[in-house]
Amino acid sequence: MGYGRFQKFLLLAKSNLDSTMIARLSKHFHKKLQKRSISIFAALHGSSSNKKYRIFTSDTHLELHPQWLRERCLSPLSVQQETLQPLHQPHEFCWPMDIETAALTDDGTVLRLRFSDGHDSTFQVQDLEKEASSLANCGVQQKDNQMPTPILWTDAEVMRIPYEDLVDGVHGEIQDHPDGIPSTFPSQIFKLTERLLTHGHVIVTNTPSNNMQVAAFAQALTQFQGFSSVRATNWGPVFNVRSEPDAELKDLAYTSSALSPHVDNPYRNPNPGFQLLHALENKCTMTGGSLAVDGSEVARQLREENPEMFRVLSTVACRWENDGGDKSTALVYFGPQISCNPTTDEVEQIRYSPKSGGYAPAIADPDEMDLLFRARRRFAELLNEDKNTVRFHLNEGDIWMFNNLRVLHGRDEFDVNEGTRHFQGCYIDVDGVQSAYFRSKYLLQEEAEDVEGKEENSSKSDKKKLIKSRSFGSSVEVWDTARASDFT
């Protein structure tokens, strides 16, 4: 085992040493151990009666609390084996939790601990260090839960994927299908969802022009059980945007007017995640073009240009409203124009929809009030700049799918004299897309492992045949079996 590998291992420090001392010692021993082949660093200190092990990550010297480690134990006494769900409530563990014994084994890749409740646990060092570096890096029940890194854009062309590459067969409304939710093709679902998570939007082409097809596609994508995966709104499970607007529905969207970039429904709690907009029919080929703006990229630009403006827009909650135009609904939400992830500080959500208000609070400090309005003006200017806008045309059969928390959408005015324009849309939650991403990823990994296993078996079989032929038919085992662990 090389030193580079060693750096990733935990340091075991047995003592009442403070963290600074541990850090100093670890640096000292790291230097000493550079050319040695051992993998354990144990600083012994204190009397035998009060020896407690303290576990540190090797690179950042982050101390891992014994309770943090105890809750990562996957033994049958700690978690249900099929689901890995914990069996205990927080107050059912002994307190304080300490580490009585500790050892690194298996060439330093496995950490074995005995806790003060008498429980022995075995951990993969790599998993502990990965999870300790960030809560979002890896999970316990779902080991791989790392999202693709968002890629910000200003003028990237929107990716197009044919419907028939995604869904097995042509389906209309879910309730028409006795076999339940249509099955999908993992490789293309992975491609679609990865792009949705990195770039925020995709167009699915060649979608059959059936009523509610968009909801059926949403169901097929998420594979969530139940009547429907779509998130019902005050407009219904799906909404229709036609050149002949629904007489009962009152909204700017239900006219032929241009719509400036905006997000939908910032007045909902929670705000809807992904929108799917299906061009069931679109004879308006010269007018009514669509536009998209990456709100995260524009927020980044504002942050770089004027951090104070970014601060005020990301901290002051405004009020977003909608009453259906006739007081048939009463929806109100309070949130800032820009929301950041509390742990990463990355931009997580944009709220921008002039028709939904975004009414500012009356702030006592006149300078702060002035700054908020100036920041809002500048943010709006940036969101409407051509350099930040991607324009395209939605053809009949297209489903434009976009992250409504990130990608702002809009359209040019359309001319009703060109012909019928009928779009049908719906919303699904963000985790529907995330879940489809991981599900397809796992399926592809399983497929790859199956192929690998078959190839390996085939290779072993060839090797065995060769050995058999050399040993005149006697069976010879030529490969190692995994060594069983004796630590429970």
**Looking at beta carbons only, is 131 or 264 nearer to Fe ion?**
264
Q: How far is 201 from 347, CA to CA, in rounded Å?
A: 17
Stretch that binds Fe ion, among 13-21, 257-265, 418-426, 441-449 (CB under 5 A): 257-265
Q: Which of 98, 131, 264, 297 binds Fe ion (CB under 5 A)?
A: 264
Residue window 214-253: x/- pattern of binding to Fe ion, with contact defined by CB under 5 A: ----------------------------------------
Q: How far is 405 from 264, CA to CA, in rounded Å?
A: 9
**In the bound complex, what is the minimum distance in angstroms from residue 259's beta carbon to Fe ion?**
6
Exposure letters 140-162 (e unless 16+ CB within 10 A, then b)? beeeeeeeeebebbeeeebeebe
DSSP symbols for 240-296? EEESS--TT---GGGSSS-EEEE-S-TTSSSPP-EEEEEEEEE--SSS--EEEEEHH
**Looking at beta carbons only, is 104 or 215 nearer to Fe ion?**
215
**In the bound complex, what is the minimum distance in angstroms from residue 261's beta carbon to Fe ion?**
9
**Looking at beta carbons only, is 259 or 430 nearer to Fe ion?**
259
**In the bound complex, what is the minimum distance in angstroms from residue 433's beta carbon to Fe ion?**
18
The alpha carbon dihedral of 332, 334, 340, 342 has a sign of: negative
Stretch that binds Fe ion, among 123-131, 264-272, 417-425, 460-468 (CB under 5 A): 264-272
Stretch that binds Fe ion, among 43-51, 166-174, 177-185, 260-268 (CB under 5 A): 260-268
**Looking at beta carbons only, is 64 or 408 nearer to Fe ion?**
408
**In the bound complex, what is the minimum distance in angstroms from residue 394's beta carbon to Fe ion?**
13
| CB-CB neighbours of 85 under 10 Å | 10
DSSP symbols for 284-326? -SSS--EEEEEHHHHHHHHHHH-HHHHHHHHHS-EEEEE-TTT
**In the bound complex, what is the minimum distance in angstroms from residue 341's beta carbon to Fe ion?**
25
Which residue's CB comes closest to Fe ion? 264
**In the bound complex, what is the minimum distance in angstroms from residue 73's beta carbon to Fe ion?**
48
**Looking at beta carbons only, is 119 or 421 nearer to Fe ion?**
421
398 counts as binding Fe ion under rule CB under 5 A: no
Q: How far is 312 from 131, CA to CA, in rounded Å?
A: 33
Rounded to a whole number of angstroms, the distance between the first and last alpha carbons of the chain is: 25
Helices (H), 344-409: 366-383
Site size with Fe ion, rule: CB under 5 A: 1
**In the bound complex, what is the minimum distance in angstroms from residue 375's beta carbon to Fe ion?**
23
In DSSP terms, which residues pair with 331 in a beta bridge? 322
* One-letter identity of residue 469: S
118 CB-near residues (< 8 Å, 6+ apart): none
**In the bound complex, what is the minimum distance in angstroms from residue 240's beta carbon to Fe ion?**
13
CB 385 within 8 A of CB 302: no
Question: Is the N-terminal amide bond of 270 cis, ω within 30° of 0?
Answer: yes
Length in residues, the chain: 488
**Looking at beta carbons only, is 264 or 398 nearer to Fe ion?**
264
**In the bound complex, what is the minimum distance in angstroms from residue 296's beta carbon to Fe ion?**
18
**Looking at beta carbons only, is 236 or 453 nearer to Fe ion?**
236
**Looking at beta carbons only, is 264 or 294 nearer to Fe ion?**
264
Secondary structure (H, E, C), 431-471: HHHHHHHHHHHHHHHHHHHHHHHHHHHHHHHHHHHHHHHHC
**In the bound complex, what is the minimum distance in angstroms from residue 371's beta carbon to Fe ion?**
29
Stretch that binds Fe ion, among 58-66, 146-154, 185-193, 262-270 (CB under 5 A): 262-270
**Looking at beta carbons only, is 129 or 264 nearer to Fe ion?**
264
Binding site for Fe ion (CB under 5 A): 264
